[in-house]
Amino acid sequence: MYLYSAMTDLARETDDQSLLAVCERLWQNLCLQNMYITGGIGPEAANEGFTSNYDLPNETAYAETCAAIGLVFWNQRLLQLACDSRYADVLERALYNGVLSGVSLDGEKFFYENPLASQGGHHRQAWFDCACCPPNLARLFASLGQYIYAQNDHEIVVHLYIQGSASFQIAGQNVRLRQQTRYPWEGSVMFHLDMEQPTSFGLRLRIPGWCHSAKLSVNGEPIELAPRMECGYVKLERLWHPSDRVQLDLDMPVEQVYAHPDVRQDSGQIALQRGPLVYCLEAADHSVPLQRIVMPREATLSSHFEASLLGGVTVITGEGLAADTTGWENALYRKQGPDLKPCALTAIPYYAWDNRQAGQMRVWLPLG
């Protein structure tokens, strides 16, 4: 990832289109055949790298925190070359899942590896003999502001939705842009613009790839998105006035996600995602071992925010099925399968796992 970041920098500095084409081919192979749903990359610990296409084991996933950070670095550089939401989507997926999982909620312990399933023996540590991940996380979080926005001489671009404010020099004016949002828990984002006098410039807002329905308004007046979409961004070009407001609402339902049929480890399974966040089950929330739980095809799933859980998270709840072990006391194998009984499901954001008592975790769930 760091090599690819340098390749992209070099392509930009020298306008080397052949090198840029290589970066695009590598990106396509990585994101379409070798990336975990969490944005983690590198399934193999032995070579700290890749194996073969679609080889994405869950319990033994290496998915080093530093590799996910490198993926963020690379996609941010690709965004500087082309304002294409594909790159911002991958950056966001890695940031909220494969990177953020690398540090505990109290900021004192770290994951080197980020598996997508655990039997309860994988935990964060305070330090490592090869301590690349903790300081790498620290520098990424400290520089997060560099990843939210971009600009050129006549446009401001919003790549990520994170509450805060930023100042820009554009069209000879100092423009202040303030985001007001509870993203990623809610898809509503309000932008407040402020400048000394009316100024003409473009404002690009990313419509994430996970979002299938969005609404936009300026000062309460609805704006049609389709005619203004360009490479995954809605583009607003107008004369802006002090105190103008832009409201973006991103629909954020709970979704069941399937892996490519050639990912053998996830065959016949689904994962849960809401907005940019990938979810998982933890033993702490369930009375049966996680391997017994099956997700019904027509499961009704809902979400709600729990302020007292894991620092405040939106959880996904629903009713699944769990294999009953009654009648298996004297059998390891038998011709009749187990009965399936209703089982309450609670899924938490993947980044927040292993912050309570030790226990099982899994992202992918068998589909019933």
In the chain, what percentage of residues exceed pLDDT 70? 100
* CA atoms of 352 and 309, how far apart (whole Å): 10
83 tagged catalytic: no
CATH 2.60.40.1180: which residues of the chain? 147-250
Is residue 89 a contact partner of residue 160, using CB atoms and an 8 Å limit? no
61 pLDDT band (50/70/90 cuts)? very high
d(CA 52, CA 34): 8
In contact, 235 and 154? CB cutoff 8 Å = no
Phi, psi of 90 (to 5 degrees): -70, -40
pLDDT category, 172, cuts 50, 70, 90? Answer: confident
Residue 368: pLDDT above 90? Answer: no
**CATH homologous superfamily of 147-250:** Golgi alpha-mannosidase II (2.60.40.1180)
Active-site residue identified among 108, 132, 230, 237: 132
Q: No. of H helices and E strands in the chain?
A: 6, 21
Q: Is residue 298 annotated as a catalytic residue, yes or no? A: no
CA distance 129 to 238: 54
Percent of the chain with pLDDT over 90: 97
Q: Which two tokens stand for residue 309?
A: 């859980």
**What's the pTM?**
0.96
Residue 327 vs residues 14, 70, 330, 340, 342: alpha-carbon distances, Å: 70, 50, 8, 13, 18
The pLDDT tens digits for 275-302 are 999 999 999 999 999 999 999 988 999 9
